[in-house]
Structure 1
Amino acid sequence: MNRPERIARAIQASGKSKSEIAKLCDVAPSAVTQWINGESKTLKAESVFALAKATGYRAEWLTFGTGPEREDAQTTGEPDEEDYAVIPQYTAKGSSGNGYLNDHVEITGGLAFKRDWLKRMSLNAENLRVIYNQGDSNWPTLSDGEVLLVDVSRRDPGNGNMYALYDPDSEIIIKRLIRDLTGGWLIRSDNQDKMRYPDMPISDQGMQDVEIIGRVVWRGGGI
């Protein structure tokens, strides 16, 4: 965002009218309109600090776009609900290998994702879950212990996409689904060592019996 967009955002989020902002900043309402429209090339320091006090947004962020947006975000370290969605983080592990049995699953907290990013990715926060990868069958795409974001609304098999699945033993596995040219599907590991991690062919009928937990839409971990 440029400076006029940041100012407009702060004023809108404050719930105050332009007239109220103008009064609090000791300027004419037309000046506030110029700030929002970008017609004012310079902004006096006293106006910036008055605007920051009136809206609850930091003067540094309003001027330069750097640092936390709000003072409360800086002091508490908590994500701003308006800008961030907190996705529930489960203890469940999905195995990049032979399967991982999760006897007991708990929500241990959450990871914050920018709502703007979720919107660009066409993701609904309510459909997302955070789990962990286990093993190296999808290396180098996924590392052991890596955090995964799973969209539980995307359960229809799609060619080339990676999914969290239940195997026949009700253990969670992380695999890619590949449409076989001869018909049916291949449940595939990204690891190129096919002696250890061979493709698993499955018919269309058999695919209907596979319980797809959701599609893996994001990965995050060490490099």
Structure 2
Amino acid sequence: MGTNFAERVKERRTELELSQSALAKRAKVSQGTIAQIELGLSQGSGKIVDLAFALGVSPEWLLYGKNPPSELTKSADTQTSSDFVTNTASGIALKKSLCVSKNWDCEYLEFMKANDESMSPTITTFDDVVFNRLETNKQENGIFVIKRTSGTIIIRRLILDSSQRWIYRSDNLDKTRYSDVFENIGDEILGRVVWRGGDNSFN
């Protein structure tokens, strides 16, 4: 692991196989800014959150080396052609032009089907869902795929309560069947939902 901010930025960018210009586009800064950061000439203090989001890491890791990101591997099931991105386990495909316009790295997109009505009407049973494994930083009101400590995989909306604890919220109003639950230590955010069915309203 890099010993300072500059090394960690470069290390993570290299791990994701991003050029400086590709990272700059994701983080909404210039390529020169990324070059200066990696040379140790700039701390990019005003762009830490954007930079962390673009690299799929926490700001604390970039700044201090705390909360290191989990090791990422590209999805073996994701297939790309010149026009489409799909998955061997899915019957749908996304246009590659959509992925490019949203700055999604095609090789880190995962496809799955919703298996219950917990997120209805936003996501319903058997809806095709695509989540981005590079987007694991918790965001208020974002919809994420979460692996609980029990091994169960759920899709929920993240809400920060008044005591600063994360709640996994179900969009379904039937709380007797689909209650909201608190985050547990050991839960793993697998990625943020970026698309479902024929609607890209999560972007």
- TM normalised by structure 2 equals 0.53
Identity of aligned residues (%): 30
Which amino acid counterpart does residue 137 of structure 1 have in structure 2? S
Of 184, 188, 191, which residue of structure 1 is paired with 2:169? 188
Distance 2:102 2:198 in 1: 19
1:140 aligns with 2:121: yes
Which amino acid counterpart does residue 187 of structure 1 have in structure 2? Y
Which amino acid counterpart does residue 156 of structure 2 have in structure 1? K
Q: Which has the larger radius of gyration?
A: 1
Aligned to 1:164: 145
1:81 aligns with 2:81: yes
Check conservation: 1:85, 1:125, Cα contact below 8 A: no
1:210 aligns with 2:191: no
Distance 1:156 1:180 in 2: 17
Deviations along 1:60-102, one digit per CA (max 9) or x if unpaired, are: xxxxxxxxxxxxxxxxxxxx933x13222xxxxxxxxxxxxxx
1:219 aligns with 2:196: yes
Which amino acid counterpart does residue 190 of structure 1 have in structure 2? D
Q: CA deviation at 1:110?
A: 6.2
Deviations along 1:36-68, one digit per CA (max 9) or x if unpaired, are: xxxxxxxxxxxxxxxxxxxxxxxxxxxxxxxxx
Distance 1:201 1:176 in 2: 11
1:197 aligns with 2:196: no
Please list every run of 5 or more consecutive structure 2 residues that lacks an aligned counterpart in the other structure.
1-79
Please list every run of 5 or more consecutive structure 1 residues that lacks an aligned counterpart in the other structure.
1-79, 89-106
Which amino acid counterpart does residue 210 of structure 1 have in structure 2? D
Q: CA deviation at 1:161?
A: 0.7
Distance 1:120 1:87 in 2: 17
> Runs (4+) of structure 1 moved beyond 4 Å?
none
Of 79, 82, 103, which residue of structure 2 is paired with 1:122? 103
- TM normalised by structure 1 equals 0.49
Which amino acid counterpart does residue 85 of structure 2 have in structure 1? V
Q: CA deviation at 1:168?
A: 2.3
Q: 1:196 to 1:112 in 2, by over 3 A?
A: closer
Which amino acid counterpart does residue 86 of structure 2 have in structure 1? I
Which amino acid counterpart does residue 86 of structure 1 have in structure 2? V
Distance 2:104 2:122 in 1: 21
1:116 is paired with a residue of what secondary structure? helix
Structure with more strand by fraction: 1
Aligned-pair Cα RMSD in Å: 2.2
